[in-house]
Structure 1
Amino acid sequence: MSFTLVAFHAHPDDESLLTGGTLARAAAEGHRVVLVTATAGEAGLADDASTRSGLGERRLAELDRAAAALGCARVVLLGYPDSGSDTPTSSPGGPVPFALLDPAGPAARLAAVLDEERADVLTVYDEHGGYGHADHVQVHRVGVLAAELAGTPVVLEATVDRDLLGRIARLMEVIPGLARLVPPGRFANCYTARSDLTHRVDVRRHLGAKRAALAAHHSQTGGGRSIRTVALLLRLPRPLLGPVLGHEWFRERGRPRAGALLDDVFETLR
């Protein structure tokens, strides 16, 4: 039996970072995968002024390549203004950043996609937006409301196992070339504790697709004062690919944690 999975993300590259393996696995197993992205990421970081010029267009082209690598059947761009990485603000008469919009408007547009696709599963982020980005928090609000409007039966909050992140950061401290790139305490208040998770999805057989999708987002390998997440993941030595990228995590809204973590994002539907 096949299902339709709609993944809702804030910016190009988010889909590959948090759910790339899951999307690739679902597509490879014969399910329809639809990617909805709220913004073009035009206010994101970039290497220099020449890269920042036209960054949104460049990131959308990268998104198309990443979606193709993951096997997505459709990409929907909502086209809202990127809120940037600082506290979002808006000026009188200027565009309102995605994070500051009333969630009702974007939710209605997303619900229309869910209805059109007859979506069985919607992925969003946890209520904290993972690491707290305002656009990610808004994706949670908008996605939850859209699922209610459309009657989508399963809503999965894409996140990361916070406990595992801490262990990986400590391990990286002793690996030449990776030491001091990620402070061990960086993830203390990010993402989701293991005790609150419902799914741990094995995507090791789809690491090639996930890595290809990450590599498509070349604009996101530079810029800023510290190493970017995409660049860091692409630099991982082969022995660390499985431990770091081989599983993806979710919390299913309304599903109590019972027993072992589930490996199938469609388990509730089955």
Structure 2
Amino acid sequence: MSRTIVAFHAHPDDEALLTAGTMARLADEGHRVVLVLATDGGAGLAAEELRRGGGLGTRRLEEARRSAQVLGVARVEWLGYADSGSGPRPEPDVPGVVRFCRAPLDEAAERLAAVLRTERADLLLSYDANGGYGHRDHVRVHEVGALAARIAGTPRVLEATVPRDTIVRAVRAVGRVYRFPAEFDPTSLDRAFSARSDITHRIDVRRHVRAKRDAMRAHASQATGGGAASVGEGGQTGDRTLAAFLRIPRPVYDLVFGREWFRDPSLPAGGPVRTAIFEGDP
């Protein structure tokens, strides 16, 4: 039985990092997969030449479309909001631009609900309450997604996440080949994502890990430098975390990225972990 899945993400490239394997697997199994992006990612870090003229958001949306094509996604939608930025405070408002974190919750949820209704979505993929590592736009995805599903009557929501202990191990593995910026605090991960006991679904995506890696490659702007957050040794501009992931040898990459995790908020914590999105699927 074919279903329709809407994957809701904060920025272009988030889909490649969090749910690309599951999206590719579901598309390969004959389901319709739709990608909805809250923002254009225009406040993301990138090499200076990519940021000139305010064109980074347009470029990143096009990268997301290339990523979606690799994954077998049938439709890509942008809700029309601007990236709120990852600094201590949201990016300033400018005329005609609404930062996602400042968008009225009801309005943003209705925009997403319109897609859910049009698609008659059987499932919404969203984020956990922590918004993963806590980016303000990721937290807003959780809030907007939960409300939109209620408005549209979407029967199921799965919140993309990672067991905290797994992400800590992954960061340590990446740290062996990549020097993280000085301001990166690994202990912040102790408060990120979800406890293992909260995980309800563990999806094996190793058969689709090549598509996931290709989806990461599609976001070429996010593998470039971008100021202090990507300064490498000697003060030279270094590459970004996405580029570091893509340098991981395939056997290690498959181990780190070969599974994806979700939390079903309708299920009690601590129960059996499911290995398929839909009952009866392989």
Question: Is TM more than 0.5 here?
Answer: yes
Which residue is 2:149 aligned to? 147
Q: Which amino acid aligns with 2:200?
A: T
Residues 154/269 of structure 1: CA separation in 2 closer, same or farther (3 Å cut): farther
Structure 2 distance, partners of 1:77, 1:30, is 24
Which residue is 2:262 aligned to? 250
Structure 2 distance, partners of 1:108, 1:161, is 30
Structure 1 residue 230, shift from structure 2 partner: 1.4
Structure 2 distance, partners of 1:268, 1:198, is 16
Query: What TM-score do you get using the length of structure 2 for normalisation?
Result: 0.88
Structure 1 residue 93, shift from structure 2 partner: 5.4
Q: Which amino acid aligns with 1:255?
A: L
Kept in 2, the 8 Å contact 1:90–1:96? The answer is no
Over the residues paired in the alignment, what is the CA RMSD in angstroms?
2.2
Structure 2 distance, partners of 1:195, 1:60, is 35
Which residue is 1:24 aligned to? 24
Gaps of 5+ in 1: none
Which residue is 1:68 aligned to? 69
Deviation per residue, 1:69-99 (Å, 9 max, x gap)? 0000011111111111122154585633110
Kept in 2, the 8 Å contact 1:121–1:266? The answer is no
Identify the range of structure 1 (90-99 vs 161-170) with the bigger mean alpha-carbon deviation.
90-99
Query: What TM-score do you get using the length of structure 1 for normalisation?
Result: 0.92
SS in 1 for 2:190: coil
Which residue is 1:200 aligned to? 202
SS in 1 for 2:80: strand
Runs of 4+ with deviation above 6 angstroms: 179-183
Structure 1 residue 160, shift from structure 2 partner: 1.1
Q: Does 1:131 align with 2:133?
A: yes
Deviation per residue, 1:32-53 (Å, 9 max, x gap)? 00000111111111111x2102
Q: Which amino acid aligns with 1:78?
A: L
Which residue is 1:43 aligned to? 43
Kept in 2, the 8 Å contact 1:130–1:190? The answer is yes
Q: Does 1:185 align with 2:184?
A: no
Identity %: 55
Q: Which amino acid aligns with 2:65?
A: D
Q: Which amino acid aligns with 1:235?
A: R
Which residue is 1:238 aligned to? 250
SS in 2 for 1:43: coil
Structure 1 distance, partners of 2:254, 2:104, is 40
Structure 2 counterpart of 1:165, from 164, 167, 174:
167
Which residue is 1:52 aligned to? 51
Q: Which amino acid aligns with 1:267?
A: E
Structure 1 residue 184, shift from structure 2 partner: 5.2
Deviation per residue, 1:171-198 (Å, 9 max, x gap)? 455x4x3466787535211111111110
Structure 2 distance, partners of 1:210, 1:42, is 23
SS in 2 for 1:75: strand
Which residue is 1:261 aligned to? 273
Residues 46/179 of structure 1: CA separation in 2 closer, same or farther (3 Å cut): closer
Gaps of 5+ in 2: 231-238
Which residue is 2:83 aligned to? 82
Structure 1 residue 116, shift from structure 2 partner: 0.8
* Matched pairs, number: 267
Kept in 2, the 8 Å contact 1:159–1:192? The answer is yes
Structure 2 distance, partners of 1:21, 1:52, is 29
Structure 1 distance, partners of 2:174, 2:82, is 36
Structure 1 distance, partners of 2:121, 2:266, is 18
Residues 169/38 of structure 1: CA separation in 2 closer, same or farther (3 Å cut): closer
Structure 1 distance, partners of 2:256, 2:8, is 23
SS in 1 for 2:61: helix
SS in 2 for 1:267: coil
Kept in 1, the 8 Å contact 2:197–2:270? The answer is no
Kept in 2, the 8 Å contact 1:40–1:79? The answer is yes
Structure 1 distance, partners of 2:31, 2:124, is 13
Structure 2 distance, partners of 1:268, 1:148, is 25
Structure 1 distance, partners of 2:273, 2:137, is 28
Residue correspondence of structure 1 range 4-19 to structure 2 within 5 A: 4-19=4-19
Kept in 2, the 8 Å contact 1:119–1:152? The answer is yes
